[in-house]
Amino acid sequence: MEIIHISAECYPAAKAGGLADVVGALPKYQTMLGHTASVIMPFYHGKFSSENEYSKVFSGFARMGHANYPFDVLKLEKKKLGYDLFQIDIPGLFDRKNIYSYKDDTERFITFQIAALNYLNSLESIPDVVHCHDQHTGFIPFMMSKVWDYRKFESVPTVFTIHNGEYQGQFVFEKMNYLPPFHSFFNGLVEWQGLINPLACAIKCAWKVTTVSPGYMEEISYTMKGLEDLLRAEKNKSVGILNGIDTDVWNPETDHMLDEKYGVSNVEKGKAVSKKLLCEEFSLDPEKPLFTFIGRLVGEKGADILPDVVYHTMINHPGEQNILILGSGEKIIQNALLHLENQFRGNYCSYIGYNEKLSHQIYAGSDFLLMPSRVEPCGLNQMYALRYGTIPIVRRTGGLRDTVVDIGDNGFGICHDQCTTHDVRHSIHRAKFFYNDKKAFATIRKQVMQIDHSWNKAAMDYLDLYKSLK
């Protein structure tokens, strides 16, 4: 089967979050299962593109509104990722450092989608399935079936995965001409509640819609920023498939980002050394249980309650624990987290920014990982934590509910119901009791490292889904 993934992110080429991890790993596992999977994404001008060699495989133009953008399709030299990676270089739109958050993101990603289809249109072979990821690729299923230029793809099955339904990419009708010409009869397919909405358009037009966990699929039919009715209407073609993790990249025995590598047999020593190194770096006390957070500092992740959690935990239980936070996002949260450092120096620290290496070191060196998320479509952090012998403390929502079972229910994690300071503090309290029961704690650590969250099952589930469309 020839599978084409189209996405705004793909690890290691460009990553802002879990989307990149998934698009970076799934094609690799599909290739290992004997299929030809490749990824098409924009060419950003970051570290990865400057450090790698590419060959130009196509040049063309993408007409978006009144502009006609020249673009090149660059193929990564050598199959270093385990599959082919094609990056579309569109000068003026993507020759920037960051992936998102520019005023012209609508123009950028529509042009990218048009360029991707122009490239596919130029090829002799027709893929067996086109798999699109999140709203930045939301018009592809529509364009493949309703835009005259791309009618060649009318019978090619499309799968659309919602990694995060919070971001829908809506824009006003005045920009309708950004899309290539199609019959006005189909206007309703791109519209939702008076705006053009790429996510809604994908849900309407893709042959199959998936979410990254069954729990999230269930939740979004009653809460997804105005798209609930649409999702309920399209329920029959929708399914939740739990993400896997790339166990080549996320393996404490071989992880080149760790100074101390370890496996199940020497987890106690491995984690003790990793924790000591981490604590030294951030001037924390390695004798105390270490609670950490890694992620975007936004309300969706429950990051807005973290300053309050830190303050009350440190004030009410001074010297009993350490808290370390790695993240970036809303300025108000960043400032509040930094502000607390002076007050609780020695027991609390925050690193504001994005740091892939440090994230690996934190998964390895922590005792507990906090995930108080309000919304969590799947959540990869808890699965990485488990693989590194770190106990996740999660709010029961979306994929967190599907992957973490509370120790009180014969499980291995700590769960709470609300995204509130009270619930998180109560969980930290429970965690400290658990931490002090050294024997039980050591047993659970070994157990969680062996839970299989690899892509093997999910990759098969996606293949079965594609086959059902033939």
Per CB under 6 A, residues contacting ligand ADP are 17-19, 21, 164, 294-296, 326-328, 354-356, 359, 378-381
Question: Which of 72, 304 has the CB closer to ligand ADP?
Answer: 304
294 sits in which H/E element: strand 290-297
Q: Is 214 exposed, middle or buried (0-12, 13-18, 19+ CB in 10 A)?
A: middle
Least distance from ligand ADP to the Cβ atom of residue 295, Å: 5
Q: What sign results for the dihedral spanned by CA atoms 337, 343, 345, 347? A: negative
Least distance from ligand ADP to the Cβ atom of residue 278, Å: 14
Task: Name residue 363's amino acid.
Answer: Y
Least distance from ligand ADP to the Cβ atom of residue 185, Å: 37
Question: Which of 115, 309 has the CB closer to ligand ADP?
Answer: 309
- From the CB of residue 429, how many other CB atoms can be counted at a distance below 10 Å? 15
For residue 113 the two structure tokens come to 């989608």
Least distance from ligand ADP to the Cβ atom of residue 178, Å: 27
Question: Which of 355, 456 has the CB closer to ligand ADP?
Answer: 355
Rounded to whole angstroms, how far apart are CA atoms 3 and 84?
11
Question: Which of 270, 295 has the CB closer to ligand ADP?
Answer: 295
Residue with the shortest CB distance to ligand ADP = 18
Q: How far is CA 172 from the centre of its chain?
A: 27
Name 464's Cβ contacts closer than 8 Å, sequence gap at least 6.
none
Least distance from ligand ADP to the Cβ atom of residue 367, Å: 17
Question: Which of 22, 120 has the CB closer to ligand ADP?
Answer: 22
Least distance from ligand ADP to the Cβ atom of residue 300, Å: 7
Least distance from ligand ADP to the Cβ atom of residue 85, Å: 19
Least distance from ligand ADP to the Cβ atom of residue 63, Å: 32
Question: Which of 221, 355 has the CB closer to ligand ADP?
Answer: 355
Question: Which of 96, 357 has the CB closer to ligand ADP?
Answer: 357
- Asked if residue 393 lies in contact with residue 424, where contact means CB atoms within 8 angstroms, the answer is yes
Question: Which of 18, 157 has the CB closer to ligand ADP?
Answer: 18
For residue 469 the two structure tokens come to 């469309």
- From the CB of residue 345, how many other CB atoms can be counted at a distance below 10 Å? 11
Name 33's Cβ contacts closer than 8 Å, sequence gap at least 6.
459, 460, 463
Q: Which of helix, strand or coil describes residue 58?
A: strand
For residue 445 the two structure tokens come to 């650590």
Question: Which of 190, 241 has the CB closer to ligand ADP?
Answer: 241
Q: Is 264 exposed, middle or buried (0-12, 13-18, 19+ CB in 10 A)?
A: middle
Question: Which of 93, 375 has the CB closer to ligand ADP?
Answer: 375
393 sits in which H/E element: strand 391-395
- From the CB of residue 202, how many other CB atoms can be counted at a distance below 10 Å? 27
For residue 239 the two structure tokens come to 């399914």
Nearest to 113 by CA among 86, 139, 87, 95: 139
Q: Tell me the pairing of strands 322-329 and 290-297.
A: parallel
Rounded to whole angstroms, how far apart are CA atoms 193 and 341?
45
Task: Name residue 299's amino acid.
Answer: G
Least distance from ligand ADP to the Cβ atom of residue 188, Å: 30
Least distance from ligand ADP to the Cβ atom of residue 402, Å: 13
Question: Which of 107, 219 has the CB closer to ligand ADP?
Answer: 219
Q: What is the dihedral of CA 463, 466, 468, 470, to 10 degrees?
A: -130
Least distance from ligand ADP to the Cβ atom of residue 170, Å: 19
Least distance from ligand ADP to the Cβ atom of residue 236, Å: 27
- Asked if residue 404 lies in contact with residue 415, where contact means CB atoms within 8 angstroms, the answer is yes
Question: Which of 14, 62 has the CB closer to ligand ADP?
Answer: 14
Q: Which of helix, strand or coil describes residue 128?
A: coil
